[in-house]
């Protein structure tokens, strides 16, 4: 494995991209989970699929699009979908959750149309759906690096505002924070992370990498920053094990990464339960 990683550029691209995604997806996922917006990742992933399917169709019919990286149209679709979700959430003030199924339905519908026009599933589209180790180009890696820098800078400058908005939005608005614009920026950054992650994890599975490591970390963490740290550790672990497994079994990495994340979550849940039983038993012995 080490020798192959040293000799083949596509493996270097895949592992470098995977390590970066294993950092930024759970990092942003903590804020998504705390704000109870987990399903937004699913909605945006389906909108991204519409952009990818549209780009693949256009590459078959319009020569100008043949050389265009489908990732660009996927990113544009994801960002547009994030802005529309935020607009719809404000339009339906008392039924904000309606925005998610509306955009998700639109994404699925448009995707189905473009996939049909493109004569069904192709190897490229399958790679975007479930991830691919061999399909990550150096251009894809640089896109991931740029998006990671955007995410880190966004969290660096808006961490306090996001923290307040996540736990007490009414107080944030009353204190004069520009909640509307922070919401929009947060949605755009989330869309960028989803678009960046689809080459490795796959469009249909990317939301899992943003939520499962967070779910595991929240069972162990004693504070918000510790939850972020543990989520990143679990995310990176899932990506590394998933990519290595996918390489040796020659299967889509998205599935192995998600299954590894689920295994980590189960280990944490079962381990926490056993630990609590042991501690309770010891306390009972001491008390008696």
Residues 92-115 as b/e (b if ≥16 CB within 10 A, e otherwise) read eeeeeeebbebbbebbeebbeebb
Give the model confidence (pLDDT) of 89-109 as tens digits. Answer: 778 777 777 888 888 888 889
Q: Are 52 and 73 in contact (CB under 8 A)?
A: yes
Q: Are 229 and 47 in contact (CB under 8 A)?
A: no
Q: Which residue has the higher pLDDT, 283 or 273?
A: 273
Contacts with 27 (C-beta within 8 Å, 6 or more apart), sequence order: 151, 155, 228, 231, 232
Q: Is 176 left (phi over 0), alpha (psi -120 to 50) or beta?
A: left
Domain hosting 25: range is: 2-287
* pLDDT for the residue 270: 92
Give the model confidence (pLDDT) of 207-260 as tens digits. Answer: 888 889 999 999 998 888 899 999 999 999 999 999 888 888 888 888 888 899
For the residues 193-220, what does the mean pLDDT come to?
85
Using DSSP, state whether 267 is helix, strand or coil.
helix
* pLDDT for the residue 232: 92
User: Does residue 288 carry a pLDDT above 60?
Assistant: no
For the residues 199-211, what does the mean pLDDT come to?
81
pLDDT band at 269 (very low <50, low <70, confident <90, very high): very high
* pLDDT for the residue 123: 57
* Beta carbons within 10 angstroms of residue 74's beta carbon: 28
DSSP string covering 14-43:
HHHHHHHHHHHHHHHHHHHHHTT-HHHHHH
**Rounded CA separation 201/58 (Å):** 24
Q: What is the CATH number of the domain that holds 201?
A: 1.10.3470.10
For the residues 108-128, what does the mean pLDDT come to?
76
Average pLDDT, the chain: 82
Q: How many CA atoms does the CB half-sphere of 155 hold within 13 Å?
A: 20
Q: Could you give the percent of the chain with pLDDT greater than 90?
A: 15
| Number of domains present in the structure of the chain | 1
For the residues 19-25, what does the mean pLDDT come to?
90
For the residues 3-12, what does the mean pLDDT come to?
69
Give the model confidence (pLDDT) of 25-55 as tens digits. Answer: 899 889 888 887 778 888 888 888 888 888 8
């Amino acid at each position: 494995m080490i020798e192959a990683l040293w000799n083949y550029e596509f493996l270097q691209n895949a592992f470098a991209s995977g390590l970066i995604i294993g950092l930024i997806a759970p990092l942003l996922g903590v804020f998504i989970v705390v704000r109870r917006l987990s399903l937004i990742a699913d909605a945006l992933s389906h909108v991204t699929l519409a952009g990818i399917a549209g780009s693949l169709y256009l590459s078959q019919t319009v020569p100008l699009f043949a050389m265009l990286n489908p990732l660009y149209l996927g990113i544009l679709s994801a960002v547009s979908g994030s802005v529309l979700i935020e607009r719809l959430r404000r339009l339906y003030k008392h039924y904000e959750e309606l925005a998610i199924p509306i955009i998700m339905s639109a994404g699925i519908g448009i995707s189905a149309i473009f996939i049909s026009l493109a004569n069904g599933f192709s190897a490229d589209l399958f790679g975007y759906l479930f991830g691919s180790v061999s399909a990550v180009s150096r251009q894809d890696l640089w896109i991931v690096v740029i998006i990671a820098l955007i995410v880190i800078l966004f969290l660096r400058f808006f961490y306090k505002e996001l923290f307040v908005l996540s736990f007490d939005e009414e107080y944030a608005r009353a204190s004069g924070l520009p909640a509307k614009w922070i919401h929009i920026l947060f949605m755009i950054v989330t869309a960028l992370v989803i678009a960046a992650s689809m080459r490795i994890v796959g469009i249909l599975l990317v939301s899992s990498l943003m939520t499962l490591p967070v779910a595991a970390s929240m069972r162990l963490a004693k504070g918000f920053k510790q939850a972020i740290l543990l989520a990143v550790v679990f995310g990176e672990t899932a990506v590394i094990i998933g990519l290595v497994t996918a390489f040796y079994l020659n299967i889509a990495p998205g599935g192995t990464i998600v299954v590894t994340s689920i295994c980590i979550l189960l280990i944490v849940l079962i381990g926490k339960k056993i630990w609590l039983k042991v501690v309770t038993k010891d306390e009972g012995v001491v008390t008696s």
